[in-house]
Structure 1
Amino acid sequence: MRILSIVIAVAMATVLAGCSSKFKTYNGPEVTQVIVQKGERRIHMMHHGRVLKTYPIRLGFAPVGDKQVEGDGKTPEGLYFIDRRNPNSNFHLSLGISYPNEQDIAEALAMGRSPGGDIFIHGGPRKGSSADGRTDWTWGCIALTDRQIERVYAMVKDGTPIYIMP
């Protein structure tokens, strides 16, 4: 009888572990800034100048240079803010970046174009998609693995500054 109880307990623990949520909790120091280094393909979660965590990233298909117009495949550069979160993203989870700002809009309009929008930090592509396995595929967004975006989603609050560097 004791062996049966142990087997049942192990089976229940295994089932519960398989039901883990994509919504993680974070109890560490506050993330006061996010820094993206496009050239190094890294994102850093910062607490007052101290790196809490660093992750490798994937970028748009044209990663060099600042985003100027819709469809250019580039990731914007400059100071923005995390302004929304999407728990039902097509890319597992996503955090919105406040692109375009007033300057971005003015620059695009001066070229007679739209600046675009919907720039996010998000999880990976769906298995079997055309982006699966490609290095730069995000159309201007910043991509992490699904496991990494779960952690970042828990760590970063809306309103957190994000500085995207070349």
Structure 2
Amino acid sequence: MKTTRRFAVLGGLAIGLAGCASKFRTYDGPAVTRLQMFKGDRSLFLYNNARVLKAYRIDLGFAPEGHKQFEGDGKTPEGAYTIDKRNPDSLFHLSVGISYPNEADIAYAASQGREPGGEIFIHGGPRPGIDAIKPDWTAGCIAVTDREIEDIYAMVRDGTPIDIFA
């Protein structure tokens, strides 16, 4: 009887503590002034001017070679963009949006009679049912762990430039 009661109390405590955890972190360090991403190295860096504040290992779209050109191509964009939105209710824990497509991306896709796609985000890990054991599992986004996107979400403001290199 005592063991059952102890498990009930400990279980209730664990559930209570889990409820206190939040995916919304705070950050009061130096401002992130730029992000740089290197697709070939699968790395993302957050900078304050010339100083690296954080570095992350990333996964990309399922067809990572080359610049994203069309909707559904599985590629991650390359070029100069900005962080332009945030999604606290993302299916992938949290996410911050990248301003793809820009005018040049739209014009190129239109010249080919295609759509450029969009909704490119840096986001957390996969939701249930998505096989992320293999690398580069997204549809064109940049994926980090849930814990890492919590940090990025707290640190990076809308309007921050992001340079994405091959």
Using the size of structure 1 for normalisation, the TM-score is 0.89
Residue by residue, what CA displacement relative to the aligned partner does 1:39-76 show, whole Å, maximum 9, x if unpaired?
Answer: 00000000101110000000001111000111110000
What amino acid is aligned across from residue 104 of structure 1 in structure 2?
Answer: D
For 2:140, the equivalent position in structure 1 comes to 140
Do structure 1's residue 115 and structure 2's residue 136 form an aligned pair?
A: no
SS at match of 2:164: strand
Shift, 1:17, TM fit:
5.9
For 1:104, the equivalent position in structure 2 comes to 105
- Contact kept? 1:126, 1:132, Cα under 8 Å: no
Q: 1:159 to 1:14 in 2, by over 3 A?
A: same
What amino acid is aligned across from residue 133 of structure 1 in structure 2?
Answer: I
Do structure 1's residue 59 and structure 2's residue 71 form an aligned pair?
A: no
For 1:3, the equivalent position in structure 2 comes to none
In structure 1, list runs of 5 or more residues that go unmatched.
1-7
1:1-166 aligned within 5 A = 15-16=16-17, 19-127=20-128, 129-166=129-166
In structure 2, list runs of 5 or more residues that go unmatched.
1-8
For 1:5, the equivalent position in structure 2 comes to none
Q: 1: CA distance between counterparts of 2:20 and 2:132?
A: 25
Q: 1: CA distance between counterparts of 2:28 and 2:102?
A: 31
SS at match of 2:154: helix
Moved over 4 A (4+): 11-14
Q: 2: CA distance between counterparts of 1:17 and 1:27?
A: 24
Using the size of structure 2 for normalisation, the TM-score is 0.89
Q: 2: CA distance between counterparts of 1:137 and 1:35?
A: 21
SS at match of 2:23: coil
Q: 2: CA distance between counterparts of 1:17 and 1:88?
A: 19
Tell me how many residue pairs correspond in the alignment: 156
SS at match of 2:80: strand
SS at match of 1:58: coil
What amino acid is aligned across from residue 115 of structure 1 in structure 2?
Answer: P
